[in-house]
Amino acid sequence: MPKVREHVRGVSYGWPMTFEQPLPKSLSPSRLSDFQACPRRYQHASVERIAQPASYASAKGRFVHFVFEKLYLLPAPDRTIERARDYVAPAIDEILTDDVRKDLAMDDAMLQRMLGETEEIITRYFQMEDPRTVNSEGVELRLGVTVGATPLFGILDRLDRDADGNLVIVDYKTGGLPNRNYDSQTFANAELYAVLCQEKLGETPTKIRLLYVAQGEALERDVTDVVIRARASAASGAWERIKRYYDDGDFPATPSSNACRFCSYKDLCRADGVPVPMR
């Protein structure tokens, strides 16, 4: 029987392997979240690049992001609710591909549901802010930097300049409002975006705004130097462990009810002997 190797946060199941795929060139906020939740999820998603099937929530999120991205590429005076609605039809062709429709088993009723929810989101968004008054310095802004020895990459939904001349990170959220007792986790990805801005642009955003457009509410948090250092340090520590696990040929699984609940790789883990929680 092979000896099971123990790791800092989890246990290896089965034999170590040599990965045919190269290690990813950089670490994004979302992939960092994957790794922190469960290194094995990172292995499947980022190293082995096993495609995850689309879900209704992910498809709707991409659909809405497409509409707002196109809206903010327009000159400010043209960012009206009518123009936002004009981008719904192109989003159907761009986002709801044959593969996505197959993953969702999408029928006309599901499509109409998504279109109805998108209309509600657009209406609520225009009640939250007037995009004609927003001074946006970047939309779907791609930033790549190296902090110490850690390559980071992220795509910002929006980077605004407020009335006081400060940068503000804006991130659209199409899900439900989070529990405010977990703000540190809620703002974690966006705070790593602040690290990217500081390193790439030479300017630190002063605030993060999370726009929960399906709820019509926004959550805001100030950016501090303490948070910047903490997020950069966490990313660097994770990257060192990622490289070590890659060289070892195994990313340990850390199953838990929270980590496994929405993971697409549960069947792979079960087949490898990982005790995935049933709930």
Task: Report the CATH number at residue 171.
Answer: 3.90.320.10
Both structure tokens of 252? 């340990």
Give the DSSP letter string of 198-216: HHHHS---SEEEEEETTTT
Scan for tokens 């979302």, then name that residue.
30
* pLDDT, tens digit, 9 for 90 and up, residues 48-59: 999 999 999 999
Residue 157 falls inside a structural domain: yes
Do 88 and 113 belong to one domain?
A: yes
Q: What are phi and psi of 12, to 5 degrees?
A: -85, 135
Do 159 and 104 belong to one domain?
A: no
* pLDDT, tens digit, 9 for 90 and up, residues 210-226: 999 999 999 999 999 99
Do 144 and 194 belong to one domain?
A: yes
Please give the tally of structural domains in the chain.
2
Q: CA-CA distances (angstroms) from residue 274 to 11, 35, 59, 270?
A: 9, 17, 29, 5
The pLDDT assigned to 278 comes to 78
Residue 127 falls inside a structural domain: yes
What is the C-alpha separation between 179 and 49, in angstroms, rounded? 31
Last residue of a domain, one of 132, 164, 192: 132
166 closest CA partner among 227, 112, 106, 222: 222
Examine the pLDDT at 70 and tell me if it is beyond 80.
yes
The pLDDT assigned to 181 comes to 77
Examine the pLDDT at 65 and tell me if it is beyond 80.
yes
Do 144 and 226 belong to one domain?
A: yes
Examine the pLDDT at 114 and tell me if it is beyond 80.
yes
Residue range of the domain that includes 106? 56-132
pTM given for the model = 0.90
Residue 272 falls inside a structural domain: no
Do 205 and 225 belong to one domain?
A: yes
Do 188 and 207 belong to one domain?
A: yes
Examine the pLDDT at 169 and tell me if it is beyond 80.
yes
Last residue of a domain, one of 190, 213, 232: 232
Do 188 and 127 belong to one domain?
A: no
Examine the pLDDT at 261 and tell me if it is beyond 60.
yes
The pLDDT assigned to 16 comes to 65
Do 162 and 95 belong to one domain?
A: no
Do 78 and 98 belong to one domain?
A: yes
Residue 49 falls inside a structural domain: no
Last residue of a domain, one of 100, 132, 164: 132
245 contacts 252 by C-beta, under 8 angstroms: yes
With cut-offs at 50, 70 and 90, classify the pLDDT of residue 187.
Answer: very high
What's the whole-number mean pLDDT along residues 168-188?
A: 91
Examine the pLDDT at 142 and tell me if it is beyond 60.
yes
Indicate the average pLDDT of the chain.
92
Residue 238 falls inside a structural domain: no
212 contacts 218 by C-beta, under 8 angstroms: yes
